[in-house]
Amino acid sequence: GERAAARQAFSEAITLSQASGDVFTTILATIGLGNVQEAENQLHLAAETYQRAVQLAGDQPIQIIYEAHLGLARIFYEWNDLDAAEQQGRQSLLLARQYEQVIDRFIVCEVFLARLKLAQGDVAEASAILAQADQSARRQNFLYRIPEVAAAQVLTLLRQGNLAAAAHLTQNLGLPLVQARVFLAQGDA
């Protein structure tokens, strides 16, 4: 939670890694700096920082760059540029899937894309993406990602008007915000 110290540490890491010619660490630190800027709601600055990380990677197939694309996708989503958000989100998913057997981040990308599809009004596509994410999380034993997938599934069920299924799913989640959304949808403020 010490963002100022994190920002300073990432800035120092960028300087040191650039001086030593360590492009990979420069990219990692740049993405970390973008994450801090995004958390501080400095979205324009964060977008520039994420874009710099993408440029540093160039044409190299560096898997970690998915995080910069996902950061850009979240920012475009916040700016209601849903087409750009989808483009960046899909690029992020493409890169994250390269390591899906060992790293769970592709599920985060899928959940983002499902929420984006909900924002675009495509409930069926959101549901399909989440079903795939749930299946992948279970198959690859990324069980700690299931609540995140289920929370997005609840939003999809609410959008479909299936309050009973949404309420049933929230019983086992232990996520108060999701439960509150179900109660509100049921008219229980």
- Checking if the pLDDT of 100 tops 90, the result is no
Residue 131: predicted pLDDT: 95
- Where residue 25 falls among pLDDT bands split at 50, 70, 90? very high
Q: Specify whether the CB–CB gap between 104 and 142 falls below 8 A.
A: yes
In sign, the C-alpha dihedral spanning 85, 86, 89, 91 is negative
61 phi and psi angles, rounded to 5 deg = -80, 65
- Checking if the pLDDT of 61 tops 70, the result is no
CB-count exposure of residue 102 (10 Å: 0-12, 13-18, 19+): exposed
Share above pLDDT 70 across residues of the chain, in percent, rounded to a whole number:
99
Mean pLDDT for 36-64 is 92
Cβ neighbours for 6, distance < 8 A, ≥ 6 positions apart: 32, 36
Mean pLDDT for 26-42 is 96
Nearest-angstrom CA–CA distance, 154 and 111 = 12
